[in-house]
Copies of this chain bind each other. A is one copy, B any other.
Amino acid sequence: MQRSPLALPFPDLAPIAGVRIGTASVAYKNWTRDCVTLVELAPGTVVAGVTTQSKCPSPEVELCRAKLPGGRARGLIVNAGNSNAFTGMAGRAAAQAQAAKLAEVLGCDAAHVFSASTGVIGVPLPVDLALEGVSKAHAALGQADFLAATKAIGTTDTFPKAATSSAIVGGRRVTLNGIVKGSGMIAPDMATMLGFIFCDAAITAELWQAMLSAAVGPTFNSITVDSDTSTSDTVLAFATGGAGHAVLTSMDDPGADALAAALADLCRQLAILVVRDGEGAQKLIEVTVTGAVDDASAKRVAMSIANSPLLKTAIAGGDANWGRVVMAVGKAGEPAERDLLSIRFGDTLVASRGAVVPGYDEAPVAAHLAGQEIRIGVDLGLGSGRARVWTCDLTHGYISINADYRS
- Residue positions of A touching B, CB distance < 8 A: 52-57, 83, 85-91, 120-124, 184-185, 187, 189, 226-231, 307-310, 313-314, 316-317, 319, 321-324, 326-339, 341, 351, 353-356, 394-396, 398-400, 402-407
Whether B120 and A231, one on each chain, are in contact in the complex, defined by CB atoms closer than 8 angstroms, is no
Closest to A226 in B: B309
Whether A319 and B406, one on each chain, are in contact in the complex, defined by CB atoms closer than 8 angstroms, is yes
| Of B55, B310, B351, B404, the contact of A338 (CB 8 Å cutoff) | B55
Of A185, A327, A341, which is in contact with the most chain B CB atoms at under 10 Å from its CB? Answer: A327
Point out the residues of chain B lying under 8 angstroms from A52, CB to CB.
330
CA distance A121 to B336 in the complex (A): 17
CA distance A87 to B321 in the complex (A): 14
The DSSP consensus for interface residues of chain A is: loop
Q: Which 7 A-B pairs have the closest CB atoms?
A: A121-B323, A88-B355, A317-B403, A56-B330, A54-B330, A229-B331, A313-B402
Of A124, A184, A229, A336, which is in contact with the most chain B CB atoms at under 10 Å from its CB? Answer: A229
Point out the residues of chain B lying under 8 angstroms from A324, CB to CB.
121, 228
CB distance from A99 to the nearest CB of B (A): 19
- Additional A-B contacts beyond A57-B330, A227-B307, A309-B394 (18; CB < 8 A): A54-B330, A54-B331, A86-B341, A86-B354, A87-B355, A87-B356, A120-B323, A121-B321, A121-B323, A124-B355, A228-B309, A229-B327, A230-B327, A231-B326, A231-B327, A313-B398, A319-B404, A396-B400
Point out the residues of chain B lying under 8 angstroms from A229, CB to CB.
327, 330-331
Whether B402 and A395, one on each chain, are in contact in the complex, defined by CB atoms closer than 8 angstroms, is no
CB distance from A158 to the nearest CB of B (A): 17
CB distance from A120 to the nearest CB of B (A): 6
Closest to A321 in B: B406
CB distance from A359 to the nearest CB of B (A): 14
Closest to A403 in B: B317
CB distance from A63 to the nearest CB of B (A): 14
Whether A56 and B329, one on each chain, are in contact in the complex, defined by CB atoms closer than 8 angstroms, is yes
Whether B86 and A121, one on each chain, are in contact in the complex, defined by CB atoms closer than 8 angstroms, is no
Whether A355 and B91, one on each chain, are in contact in the complex, defined by CB atoms closer than 8 angstroms, is yes
| Of B53, B86, B90, B319, the contact of A405 (CB 8 Å cutoff) | B319
Point out the residues of chain B lying under 8 angstroms from A189, CB to CB.
331
Whether A228 and B310, one on each chain, are in contact in the complex, defined by CB atoms closer than 8 angstroms, is yes
Q: Could you give 18 example pairs across A and B, Cβ below 8 Å? A: A54-B330, A55-B331, A56-B326, A83-B323, A87-B355, A89-B355, A121-B321, A122-B351, A124-B355, A226-B309, A228-B309, A231-B326, A314-B403, A317-B403, A319-B403, A319-B405, A398-B399, A399-B399
CB distance from A110 to the nearest CB of B (A): 23
Whether A331 and B187, one on each chain, are in contact in the complex, defined by CB atoms closer than 8 angstroms, is yes
